[in-house]
Amino acid sequence: MNIIFMGTPEFAVECLDVLVKSNHNILAVVTSEDKPAGRGQKIKISEIKKYSITKNIKTLQPKNLKDPSFLNEIKLLKPDIFIVVAFRMLPKILWEIPKKGTINLHASLLPNLRGAAPIHWAIINGLQKTGVSTFYINENIDCGEIIEQKKVSISENENTGELYNKLKKIGALTILSTLEKIDEKDFKSIKQNESKENLKAPKLNRENTKIDWNKPSNEIHDFIRGLNPFPSAWTSITENKKILKIYKSRRYSSIINEKQKPGTIIMNKNILLISTSSGLIEILELKMEGKKMMNNIEFNNGFKSLNKTILS
């Protein structure tokens, strides 16, 4: 097929690479505009653009997806299909152009976990399985008819970074098999089942990445690994308001007789514990505001004065 690929981050690169190495033809890539970023405000280009440059693929970076000159350029390329991976919402005037439709890859088993951060929320919600879905784009975000789904299991201590790497590889292969399905004469897409029980995957922000120590320890463990390595779960020391970012934890089954208020730091030899509403959670990796990343032993040695301190 003659394909126009739309995407921006590193997650999408694996999909584009698989397509480039296949017998399909990549007519062009559409990605985000170059933008200044960081303290030095240096111009940053998307990971997809970096890849496209190395492969000499035509790259389009429209500011407005409804711009007539952009739409005309797309039409002149005569694409059979659009493939969208981690891009932005497309207007109907754009996604209805290709004769074989516009398909999207989403990192969940739709209709579960619709939204911007499905990988994070799969782990935060303590799911034991997730996957990827390809579907036809329509007027509503992540609501189009399903073409194909692939499942993957999530282990007890797996974090978002690890799951991300699994899903981007599986997603790339699913894109290829999806194109094969679309070419089958008897292929039929499947309407998504709507249910109030479906989980959501909203965009992550400062408010929804803060740890609530009043929750059970197993939920907090899932929350921490679901935000590792980025953007990271955080809490603050009540006395001085300094931020603690917590990256790695472990369920703690041993018993300490003394019951503490949720959020209390407990330094027990080389073990770093924090109390929750249902016992204790062991902290293995964390970062104090203004300091480097530390393991539990380094933290205990450097911040002994924080023993019995309350986190909020």
- Residues 69-99: pLDDT tens digits? 999 999 999 999 999 999 999 999 999 999 9
pLDDT of 207 over the 70 cut: yes
pLDDT of 21 over the 90 cut: yes
Three-state DSSP string of 127-170:
CCEEEEEEEECCCCCCCCCEEEEEEEECCCCCCHHHHHHHHHHH
The tokens describing 89, both together, are 């919402």
pLDDT band at 39 (very low <50, low <70, confident <90, very high): confident
CB 52 within 8 A of CB 29: yes
Q: How many CB atoms lie within 10 A of CB 271?
A: 18
Q: Average per-residue pLDDT in the chain?
A: 95
Report, as an integer, the average pLDDT of 107-126. Answer: 97
The whole-number pLDDT of residue 48 equals 97
Q: What is the pTM of this model?
A: 0.94
* Paired sense of beta strands 102-106 and 129-136, if any: antiparallel
Helix (H) or strand (E) holding 19: helix 10-20
Question: In sequence order, which residues have a C-beta less than 8 Å from that of residue 97 and are 6 or more positions away?
Answer: 71, 74, 75, 79, 82
Report, as an integer, the average pLDDT of 38-42. Answer: 77
CB 161 within 8 A of CB 285: no
Task: Output phi, psi for 44, to 5 deg.
Answer: -115, 130
The whole-number pLDDT of residue 230 equals 95
The whole-number pLDDT of residue 127 equals 98
Q: pLDDT tens digits, residue range 252-305?
A: 877 666 678 999 999 988 899 999 999 899 999 999 999 999 999 999 999 999
Domains detected in the chain: 2-200 (3.40.50.170), 207-306 (3.10.25.10)
Q: Report percent pLDDT > 90 for the chain.
A: 88
pLDDT band at 41 (very low <50, low <70, confident <90, very high): confident
Distance CA 246, CA 286 (A): 4
Distance CA 49, CA 82 (A): 17
The whole-number pLDDT of residue 129 equals 98
The tokens describing 134, both together, are 């390809």
